Amino acid sequence: MGKFTFGSFFKCFLVKKLFFKKKQIKSRNLSPFVEFSLLSGTLKILSGSPYMLIDYIKKEDQTIKITANHPADIHILYQLIDEKTQVTMFTSRKVEIGNQKTRISVKLTLQICETSADFENNALNLRGRIQNEVENIKLGSFHNLTIGLNESFVLHVQDLRTTVDKLLKHLDVFLLIVFRNGKFEVAAIDEFGLRNRGHFKQKEFKQFLTEACSEVVTKQPAPFPLKSSIKVKYIVTNHQIENIVKISQPIHKFELTKTDEKLNLLQIFDRLLQNPQNSSIPFMKDLVIANNFLLMYEKGHTERIALGLTEILEAQDHFAIQTLIVTNKLYCSFDIEEREKIRNLISSMKKNIIVAIISDFHRCGVKLNEIGGIGAILTYDYRKDDH
């Protein structure tokens, strides 16, 4: 099987926008992706992608409405739901009315006792005791629920803050820190792209970095405090920041050239992607590979790449594949037959072949999906052998 270089591909949902009818209140201690309404007490998280996981969060009754829209969501929910939670969902149940048994549609709340998952069929299986009073149904009796894709349910939790934090912590990032003109410019980068976090003087920067890199939950003044949703795994910088603040995260240094000094953070990040030496940076390795593949494609170097499943299978027959690149859209496809083809292909790769799985949200993933979602970098042009 090919060597995987990416982190957990299940970390594939993005909290992007929040919408409220009433006045919104922001806290600088919250994630840049999280806003809440103090007046309504409701937090609504939407995604601009098919990976939307959270429909709403209600502070007053400690509930979260969730829709599993992607196979990866089933994995996340399986890790999240335990015996301390209750689940409310519309389901069917056989009841006895008079002397006849009939199956009805009913909204039940279960105290979860057992959880299991059928990942092949993208289903989460729950068993629990009925907690709400319903006519013709005994309170406390057992019921089985199956949650599949595109099915909504409400999760009742004891600690809303911790649960939300667990969901949001699927966004692992590294920080790009550029020191120039006497200030620290910071951007958070994850599978989905780059977001500016601000410009800081040294004192502010020290406080920011200490909080961003801390694994400890600290008291926060916000009315509804949440620990930062980013979990910093790595730092890329042009400055000796270890002389300013003590952190445990690994640091990768790069040199800011005179040309780079005129660029914004996104442009600097693109320059980093184009440098093969930076493939040693965790997380960036797959993006560097994808970026190099796309550059070859755009420049018309067809002798160095294979595009699409047919060409890749031909290249594999000629032992010509150096690196396989697949988007998460194909790796986690809703089409079971297509998904199995991709996963069987990856399993058949020799150990020395690198397999890179690219997020659909990053610009590299977007471009790859536009041209089929799968490609390979070749060790040689196998097509010449056929002539």
Q: In what order do the strands lie in the sheet with 42-43?
A: 42-43, 54-58, 63-67, 152-156, 86-97, 100-118, 123-130, 142-147
Average of per-residue pLDDT across 302-306: 94
Residue 163: its pLDDT value, please?
75
Kindly state whether residues 15 and 106 are assigned to the same domain.
yes
What total number of domains does the chain contain? Answer: 3
Kindly state whether residues 366 and 248 are assigned to the same domain.
no
Question: Quick one: tokens of 159?
Answer: 């600690």
Q: Are 333 and 12 a contacting pair, CB within 8 Å?
A: no
Helices (H) and strands (E) in the chain, counts: 9, 18
Kindly state whether residues 207 and 244 are assigned to the same domain.
yes
Kindly state whether residues 278 and 290 are assigned to the same domain.
no
Kindly state whether residues 44 and 56 are assigned to the same domain.
yes
Select from 216, 248, 282 the last residue of a domain.
282
Kindly state whether residues 13 and 88 are assigned to the same domain.
yes
Residue appearing with tokens 């939790």: 157
Average of per-residue pLDDT across 308-331: 91
Domain CATH for 236: 3.30.420
Q: Could you write out the three-class secondary structure of 258-290?
A: CCHHHCCHHHHHHHHHCCHHHHHCCCHHHHHHH
Select from 237, 263, 282 the last residue of a domain.
282
Kindly state whether residues 313 and 268 are assigned to the same domain.
no
Residue appearing with tokens 């993208």: 122
Read off the pLDDT of residues 324-370 as tens digits, 9 standing for 90 and up. 999 878 877 767 788 888 888 988 888 788 888 887 767 788 899 99
Select from 114, 142, 168 the last residue of a domain.
168
Domain CATH for 116: 2.30.30.870
Question: Quick one: tokens of 139?
Answer: 């309170």
Read off the pLDDT of residues 17-66 as tens digits, 9 standing for 90 and up. 322 222 222 222 333 333 333 233 333 333 333 344 667 778 788 888 88
Kindly state whether residues 64 and 176 are assigned to the same domain.
no
- CA dist 332 and 71 (Å) reads 6
- CA dist 362 and 14 (Å) reads 11
C-alpha distances (whole Å) from 86 to each of 68, 94, 131 are 17, 21, 9
Range of the domain at 16: 3-168
Kindly state whether residues 299 and 315 are assigned to the same domain.
yes
- CA dist 43 and 134 (Å) reads 29
Kindly state whether residues 179 and 296 are assigned to the same domain.
no
Residue appearing with tokens 């609504």: 44
Q: What are phi and psi of 199, to 5 degrees?
A: -110, 135
Domain CATH for 302: 3.30.1330.30
pTM reported for the whole predicted model = 0.46
Kindly state whether residues 193 and 120 are assigned to the same domain.
no
Kindly state whether residues 245 and 323 are assigned to the same domain.
no
Q: Are 224 and 39 a contacting pair, CB within 8 Å?
A: no
